[in-house]
Amino acid sequence: MNFYAIRAIYLFEMARTWRTLLQSIVSPVVSTSLYFVVFGAAIGSRISEINGISYGAFIVPGLIMLSLLTQSISNASFGIYFPKFVGTIYELLSAPVSYLEIVISYVGAAASKSILLGLIILATAALFVPLQIQHPVWMLVFLVLTAVTFSLFGFIIGIWAGSFEQLQLVPLLIVTPLTFLGGSFYSIDMLPPFWRTVSLFNPVVYLVSGFRWSFFGISDVNVGISLAMTLVFLAACLIAVWWIFRTGWRIKA
């Protein structure tokens, strides 16, 4: 394992975050705070509690998950797409760096940025509402697993994308709607039976539900199922990345 190469690529990607601090950290935090203020004030005045939890506190895990998913995908996809765009990907592929080391570097950097952002948003939310975290270890487990999984997913999107517009296609048209419809701002138990059943086909439901359980000890689906679904998606992304490097799809073309 070439740890020097991993460290070099990782630090290069992290340095890009500090150079674009306003865009990478400040902007998502401000956007999430606005979501919190708008939803907490407008809807919270009509919905005082959900399952015994104040509405303002109830939506915090969903808001963190919304930012975590979008930022993980965005960071990882841009990180690998830009070398393809400028042509430096060939220098990377010809260097004495294995595919595993490349994935660890780019995905590790993207996941680190997302986890840092998630913790900052958590600290910001604590300024608005009193928070309790009943299972802090499991909260970190879900946070890290989700960040790594969707960073891998973003890595795949960065390999697939043929333009900057395509980088935004999946996050904007698929991931963000699924997050809004995945119980981020409500409990799916509030839905009619038919739509609750439909919601169970949304993978984001399991992520949000498991993450919310780590805060309040309540969930829309069993926490074991939430963890299993996260691991299944992680395994699927790992297999897809392995196949991409095995065949050279969209990399060597």
Chain-centre distance of CA 44, in angstroms?
Answer: 25
- Strand, helix or coil at 164? helix
Pair of tokens at residue 202: 């949304």
- How many of the other CB atoms lie within 10 Å of CB of 190? 13
pLDDT at residue 25 is higher than 80: no
- How many of the other CB atoms lie within 10 Å of CB of 66? 25
C-alpha–C-alpha distance, residues 68 and 117, integer Å: 7
| Greater pLDDT, 143 or 21 | 143
Q: Are 118 and 64 in contact (CB under 8 A)?
A: yes
Q: What confidence score (pLDDT) does residue 159 get?
A: 93
| CA-wise closest residue to 171 among 39, 58, 81, 37 | 81
Average pLDDT, the chain: 89
Q: Which residues make Cβ contacts (< 8 Å) with residue 50, sequence separation at least 6?
A: 58, 186, 187, 190
Q: What confidence score (pLDDT) does residue 44 get?
A: 64
